[in-house]
Amino acid sequence: MAGSEGYDVVVVGGGGAGLAAAVSACEAGASVLVAEAGAQVGGSTALSGGAFLAAGTAVQKAAGCEGDSAAEFYDYFLAVNRWDIEPSIVRRYCDEGAAAVQWLTELGVEFPPGEIARGELERIPRLHRAAGGGAGIVAGLRSACNRVGVDFALGTRVTELVERDGVVVGVRAGDDELAAGSVILTTGGFANNHELVAEHIPSARAVLDGLRSPAPGTNLGDGLRMGLAVGAATAGTDRAQVLLSAGLTSDIEPVLPGWLICVDATGRRFVDETAHYHVMNPLTLEHGGTTWAIFDENACQEARGSGSRFGAGMWTHEVLSHAAAGGQIPTAPDIPTLATRLGLPAAVLQTTIDRYNADCAAGQDTLFFKDAARMVPCATAPFYGVPLRPTIMPVTGFGLRIDSDTRVLRAADNRPLTGLYAAGEVVGRRIFSGGAMIAAGVIFGRHAGRVAAADH
């Protein structure tokens, strides 16, 4: 690492949170180095869809979505998370979201008003899609870093924090040591580190063998490990985002195609198969951790993918017929035989399929009210059954505990660890909702930069 004199602020990890921290610390007058393990900056942020959840923004107004506010957003967030979230942190998130969107816009990131959408159950659209996805956000922040004079040490994996008398005073990367007035940890999540997943995400232990993450290979939980080594408190046990997969392709498919019939181990449907992944995946875990997607030959012939932005995925005729021919997908000439092959109760599965087919004919899903236009009958042999398990983990939610000023708290006494800050996915018990991960990374990264620059 360059700069033997050290820096006012060293940021560990150059994803969305780290770059935002670096820009704002530099804007506040600090000398700043970003140490990034990868050959280039970006992290998961650059691979993401770039959806940014915020309320009361100028972009919303430009899109004709008037009347939203941080206060309404805060109430909504607490309600949908059943208050199982830190109010002081949610408050900062909601209060500073509009300013963060404005700040990114001024740095050159575009949020086209025509792209704004409703993420989940919001009354008003709040999901701001960055032009160019997450890579567009990273590009804007990276050029801002250049403008304000942030230094970079690329290909530098920080391995340890340097602590003296309970104060964090620098970082080590192998044998190199660098002094820092303040250190901001922004190393992202740990979904690629199966040891940490097994330890902190107990519900994933059953699927560890097939678990994959689209996050960069450098996201190994180093920040969490380094924080723990200096006595940091943690939060968010068993929090992670998982997506269903049969392991046939590596594409991310957040939402299943509407022509599938998903049943649990009892042979019954348990959900509208097109439900948002924040509903579908936890519900699948509650229903035993596997759902069987049933469809017929007609559906297989017509399969054109799930419409994911991250690739065509496995729901195409080519992938399905190839997997069926290779024995990776069980098929059968009738539903009872398919049920036996899948280990499901044959009579119940037959009842489920009969009722679904009757609903298709009547034009209404009488159990879950799935959009009838997306339903197709399951009546033409051979029949297919694909076991899906929550094995794709883009995001982890266990991590370091911070206060609303991003100061990492000590496990021993719940007081700030002097000199240490954290933002983004390395933080535990984060705001955890579609589009809120990138937003929280940028909002708290930006705040961490300001606070660390003032404190150093």
Question: Token match 């107990």: residue?
Answer: 202
Closer residue to ligand FAD (CB): 335 or 448:
448
Q: How many positions of this chain bind ligand FAD (CB under 6 A)? A: 42
Could you give the CA distance from residue 273 to residue 28 in angstroms, rounded to a whole number? Answer: 49
Site string for ligand FAD, 301-340 (x = CB under 6 A): ----------------------------------------
* Kind of pairing between the strands at 151-154 and 32-36: parallel
Is residue 307 classed as helix, strand or coil in its secondary structure?
coil
Is residue 339 classed as helix, strand or coil in its secondary structure?
helix
Return the range that interacts with ligand FAD (CB under 6 A); candidates 144-152, 257-265, 364-372, 436-444.
436-444
C-alpha distance from residue 236 to each of 201, 395, 429, 431 (Å):
9, 12, 4, 10
Site string for ligand FAD, 201-240 (x = CB under 6 A): -------------xxx-xx--x------------------
C-alpha distance from residue 56 to each of 64, 119, 325, 408 (Å):
12, 15, 53, 29
13 binds ligand FAD (CB under 6 A): yes
Q: How far is the CB of 221 from ligand FAD (least distance, A)?
A: 8
Is residue 126 classed as helix, strand or coil in its secondary structure?
coil
43 binds ligand FAD (CB under 6 A): yes
Residue showing the smallest CB distance to ligand FAD in the complex: 15
Closest CA to 294 of 267, 318, 275, 312: 267
Could you give the CA distance from residue 212 to residue 422 in angstroms, rounded to a whole number? Answer: 25
Q: Which of 1, 9, 10, 17 binds ligand FAD (CB under 6 A)?
A: 17
Q: How far is the CB of 219 from ligand FAD (least distance, A)?
A: 5
- Supply 412's token pair: 């021993």
Task: State phi, psi for 112 to the nearest 5 degrees.
Answer: -60, 125
| 217: amino acid identity, one letter | G
Q: Which of 48, 192, 306, 352 binds ligand FAD (CB under 6 A)?
A: 48
Report CA 12 to chain centroid distance, whole Å.
20
Closer residue to ligand FAD (CB): 156 or 284:
156
Q: How far is the CB of 441 from ligand FAD (least distance, A)?
A: 4
- Supply 330's token pair: 């069980």
Could you give the CA distance from residue 32 to residue 306 in angstroms, rounded to a whole number? Answer: 43
Site string for ligand FAD, 384-413 (x = CB under 6 A): ----------xx------------------
Which residue ranges make up the site for ligand FAD (CB under 6 A)? 12-18, 35-38, 42-45, 47-51, 134, 157-158, 186-188, 214-216, 218-219, 222, 252, 394-395, 424-425, 435-438, 441
